[in-house]
């Protein structure tokens, strides 16, 4: 069974998927939209991915403030989670995503990826960090 990792942003959703054994996370794609509130196509694409990979569990990055409080982006993410549960019937786990975008940017810079190309993949790299954190925690626990 594969697990889906999502990095939900204002105009993009980074997508990563685990291997079949649930050991490693691989970046898959970035879903983009023109308007922050136009999510119909985003949900439809996520549903396609769920069917294609046989996903039962989704790990959704949860943006907490550095002081561990939940702000506006966190509330929007919880609304997105609720809609995902209604639409997909999958289990959706919120996973602390603090600093995953920073870590993703660092990895891409160290790999020599040019700035204009980093923007194309940073969300899916962040999704893979989110998913990998979850996968690692399952093995440790």
CB 95 within 8 A of CB 130: yes
Region label for 89, one of left (φ > 0), alpha (ψ between -120 and 50) or beta (otherwise) = left
pLDDT for position 102: 63
Q: What is the mean pLDDT of residues 71-76?
A: 90
Q: Which tens digits make up the pLDDT trace of 19-58?
A: 999 999 999 999 999 887 889 999 999 999 999 999 999 9
What superfamily does domain 3-140 belong to in CATH? YqgF/RNase H-like domain (3.30.420.140)
Residues 7-27 have a mean pLDDT of 95
pLDDT (tens digit, 9 = 90+) per residue, 83-141?
999 999 999 999 988 767 666 677 767 777 777 776 777 789 889 999 999 999 887 75
Q: Where are the alpha helices (DSSP H) in the chain?
A: 40-53, 72-88, 100-110, 115-140
């Amino acid at each position: 069974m594969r697990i889906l990792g999502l990095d939900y942003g204002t105009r993009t959703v980074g997508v990563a998927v685990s291997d079949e054994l649930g050991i490693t996370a691989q970046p898959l794609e970035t879903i983009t939209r023109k308007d922050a509130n136009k999510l119909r196509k985003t949900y439809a694409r996520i549903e396609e991915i769920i069917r294609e990979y046989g996903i039962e569990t989704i790990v959704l990055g949860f943006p907490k403030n550095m002081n561990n409080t939940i702000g506006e982006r966190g509330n929007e993410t919880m609304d997105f989670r609720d809609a995902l549960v209604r639409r997909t019937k999958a289990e959706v786990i919120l996973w602390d995503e603090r600093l995953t975008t920073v870590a993703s940017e660092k990895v891409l810079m160290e790999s020599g990826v040019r700035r204009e190309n980093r923007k194309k993949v940073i969300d899916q790299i962040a999704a893979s960090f989110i998913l990998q954190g979850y996968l690692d925690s399952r093995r440790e626990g």
